[in-house]
Amino acid sequence: MNNTLKRKLLAGQPALGVSVMLPSPHVVDMAGRLGFDWVLLDCEHGSITPEGLETMVMAAEASGITPIARPPTNTPDAVLRVMDRGVLGVQVPHVNTADDAKRAVESVKYYPLGSRGLGAGIRSAGYGFGVTMEEYVKRANQETLVCVQLEEVEALRNLDQILRVEGVDVFFLGPSDLAQSMGYPGRADAPEVQAALNSAFATIVAAGKVPGSAGNANAVSNYARQGVKYLYTHLTTILASAASDFRLKAGLEKH
């Protein structure tokens, strides 16, 4: 268990990932071979089952890319189901209060840092082969990453309190849901939304914490200039951009 993503973030380095919603270990394998630092396995919006998630984690391990999962909800059972498959962290949706953030941490960490259920023979513990449960718990508490998604107006109002929660590694701002929460669905580029994002990024950086966000190449570049380290784009965004670029260069633009 070696979370290279967490190592990069702790060293103050940016890390670029790709979000995958489809149950495909092959896509994860390719993402690792293409040089991405980590992969977000989206179990909130995608069609990834627990069995599919497990094989995608195996592909991530084989290709040297860090697997992070987004559970469907911020509940102990939802987090447990993805963590036990072997992911090295979670990106928990809709965290609006300090109590929400504490619940996320407690769901990921074992005692004494949390209350995650401890099962013998689970894949995240290597099935219990060659490691004691005590050793596994210590290592898991060190290596697992907790990212909380701040994607509603309420979360920004409570940002100062959320930033004080111990055990949170990344404070992720979700542009799409934030825009909707602010009354601009589908308009993450609205000036009011961008101003809210920029202000929140500055607050997170000033607190000495790691901010995160996602978007297309232009958005990611802009976020990186503001000190955002945990960055990703979506598989569909990459495919759309690459397809358009290919047709343009081939002189076969679609009319």
The confidence score (pLDDT) of residue 163 equals: 98
**Whole-angstrom Cα distance, residue 24 to residue 30?**
10
Q: What contacts 227, CB < 8 A, 6 or more positions away?
A: 201, 205, 211
- pLDDT tens, 93-107? 999 999 999 999 999
- In residues, how long is the chain? 255
Enumerate residue ranges in the chain where pLDDT < 70: 255
The confidence score (pLDDT) of residue 139 equals: 95
What would the DSSP string read from start to end of 196-221?
Answer: HHHHHHHHHHHTT-EEEEE-SHHHHH
- Burial group, residue 34, by CB count within 10 angstroms (0-12, 13-18, 19+): exposed
> Rounded to the nearest 10 degrees, what angle do helices 50-63 and 76-83 cross at?
50
Nearest to 96 by CA among 32, 149, 167, 34: 149
**Whole-angstrom Cα distance, residue 51 to residue 43?**
12
The confidence score (pLDDT) of residue 1 equals: 80
The confidence score (pLDDT) of residue 215 equals: 95
**Whole-angstrom Cα distance, residue 151 to residue 180?**
9
Q: Which of 45, 94, 234, 255 is the catalytic position? A: 45
Question: What phi and psi, each to the nearest 5 degrees, are found at residue 159?
Answer: -60, -45
Whether the model clears a pTM of 0.85, i.e. scores above it, the answer is: yes
The confidence score (pLDDT) of residue 255 equals: 65
Instruction: Check residue 73 and report its DSSP letter.
Output: S
Does 45 participate in catalysis according to the annotation? Answer: yes
**Whole-angstrom Cα distance, residue 236 to residue 46?**
12
